[in-house]
Structure 1
Amino acid sequence: MANAEADSKRGIVKKAGYHHGDLRNAIIESVVRLIAQNASLDFQLKDVAKLVGTTTPAIYRHFESKQSLLVETAIAGYAIQEDYRNRAISLSKPSPLARLIAIGHAYVLFGRTHPGYFRLMKSLETEEMLASPEYQSLRTKALDLTNALTIECMEAGLFLEIDMAVVKTSLQTTALGLGHIYSTDQLQYIAPEALDDESLVARVFEVNLGGLLSAKGKRHVREASQDPFKAQR
């Protein structure tokens, strides 16, 4: 419920949310809860059925197997992540650097508020998920957007003249690392003094990107690094 309220305040539409009687989405939401709780895919469909309050045969009327259920869950997760991404971009400053970092903030917030989806999509991908054309299409769409904004930043002279692969990997490492820390509640062990620091993610992006930026990029990175969701908290 807390996640749903937070999403509502930020203007995020939770596409995988379900209303009473929508068994298919209730099953997906229960899978996400089990992944968040177990930090693995080590559960059975009977566990899902118990959590939903239905039967295993009822699940098979919607999904042909556990693997197909995981694929559909991952696709639903990408839909939610896309909502966060689009909202972040709409709230960010217009510069390509600000939009690029806004996507990073959306990525971290997604991990923070939907740890089950985040874990499935970022560290527990299955062969069936990777073989799904729809899943791959959503993944490619997200990567194409960040790549395009990275190129815009380079063309605008905001990044140093360094290997594009280094820039993309550095950006992904920062966002993925922060998302993982928040999705697994590791901040309480890593930096407990920062648990209530809502500026932490922005400051980490600013510091980690500093080595990639030109003098021009450094002049406005602090403003570009600001959390686009901050005003809605």
Structure 2
Amino acid sequence: MAKYHHGNLRNTLIKVATELLAEEGTHALSLRKMAQRAGVSHNAPYMHFADKEAVLAEIAEEGFRLLAMEIESAIATADTSTYGRLIAASNAYIRFALDRPNHLQVMFRPYEVEKYPSLLAASQVALNCLFELVKSGQENHTLIAGDPHQMTKSIWAMVHGVAVISIAYQTNMLLPENTSIDDGVASVFVGFLLDGLATKKA
């Protein structure tokens, strides 16, 4: 086997692992397969990753960083209303799930979080995007009063549920034919939740 001369082996291994996940699923991933695909010795991945869980944690962290970026971008281009921004963030979450289902799968598997503090921090950044929107909505009185953390978790749970269903059954199981994600999934299903959280005007 030829020696691996590239200096960025860690990133190469993550790229390879992500490809293997897409092809074979989490259960089939191994450091040995990663080494074979990358063209390095079987021991080379252990210079960067202690075990398979460490690889999955790295992919999960990357997923949360990408998710936060997509949510932040969607919020930045949405209208200024709390409702509009929450819908935009929800749509971005579901698009991310449909585009990167393998990332989503490993992002929400159990980890020993004390071993991966950077993974926990990355997940909190994504969650904080929604929290800040909720807090802003309460401050401008467009959302009802209450614990903003619990409200954020409720919205997250709803959006994540729609995302998982969308992956499993595709959006045509949830929406009328030819209805896009932006026009339908988050707007319809998350909209029901947001309507319940909105303040009622006399």
**Alignment-mate amino acid for residue 206 of structure 1:** G
Counterparts in 2 of 1:215 and 1:37: CA distance versus 1, 3 Å: farther
Partners of 1:96 and 1:153 within 8 A in 2: yes
For the aligned residue pairs, the C-alpha RMSD in angstroms reads 2.8
Cα distance, 1:186 vs structure 2: 1.6
Partner of 2:170: 187
- Which residue of the other structure, out of 57, 64, 74, is the alignment partner of 2:50? 64
Residues of 2 paired with 1:24 and 1:156: CA distance? 46
**Alignment-mate amino acid for residue 198 of structure 2:** L
Partner of 2:65: 79
Partner of 1:225: none
Q: Does 1:208 align with 2:193?
A: yes
Residues of 2 paired with 1:165 and 1:140: CA distance? 12
**Alignment-mate amino acid for residue 139 of structure 1:** S
Partners of 2:131 and 2:152 within 8 A in 1: yes
Cα distance, 1:121 vs structure 2: 0.8
Between stretches 36-45 and 200-209, larger displacement belongs to 36-45
Give me the identity figure in percent. Answer: 24
Normalising by structure 1, what TM-score?
0.69
- Which residue of the other structure, out of 80, 92, 103, is the alignment partner of 1:106? 92
Cα distance, 1:38 vs structure 2: 5.0
- Which residue of the other structure, out of 161, 170, 179, is the alignment partner of 1:197? 179
The 5-angstrom pairing of residues 1-233 of structure 1 reads 23-37=9-23, 40-122=26-108, 124-127=109-112, 129=113, 131-162=115-146, 164=148, 167-182=151-166, 184-187=167-170, 190-191=173-174, 193-194=176-177, 196-198=178-180, 199-201=183-185, 202-215=187-200
**Alignment-mate amino acid for residue 213 of structure 1:** A
**Alignment-mate amino acid for residue 189 of structure 2:** V
**Alignment-mate amino acid for residue 152 of structure 2:** K
Partners of 1:108 and 1:178 within 8 A in 2: yes
Residues of 2 paired with 1:189 and 1:130: CA distance? 40
Between stretches 87-96 and 58-67, larger displacement belongs to 58-67
Q: Larger C-alpha radius of gyration, 1 or 2?
A: 2
Partners of 1:36 and 1:119 within 8 A in 2: no
Partners of 2:14 and 2:59 within 8 A in 1: yes
Cα distance, 1:140 vs structure 2: 1.9
Cα distance, 1:188 vs structure 2: 6.4
Counterparts in 2 of 1:83 and 1:161: CA distance versus 1, 3 Å: closer
Counterparts in 2 of 1:135 and 1:190: CA distance versus 1, 3 Å: same
- Matched residues, number: 193
**Alignment-mate amino acid for residue 78 of structure 2:** S
Cα distance, 1:143 vs structure 2: 2.4
Residues of 1 paired with 2:40 and 2:140: CA distance? 55
Could you report, residue by residue, the CA deviation over 1:187-231 in whole angstroms, capped at 9, with x for unpaired residues? 36844754x420222222223322222235xxxxxxxxxxxxxxx
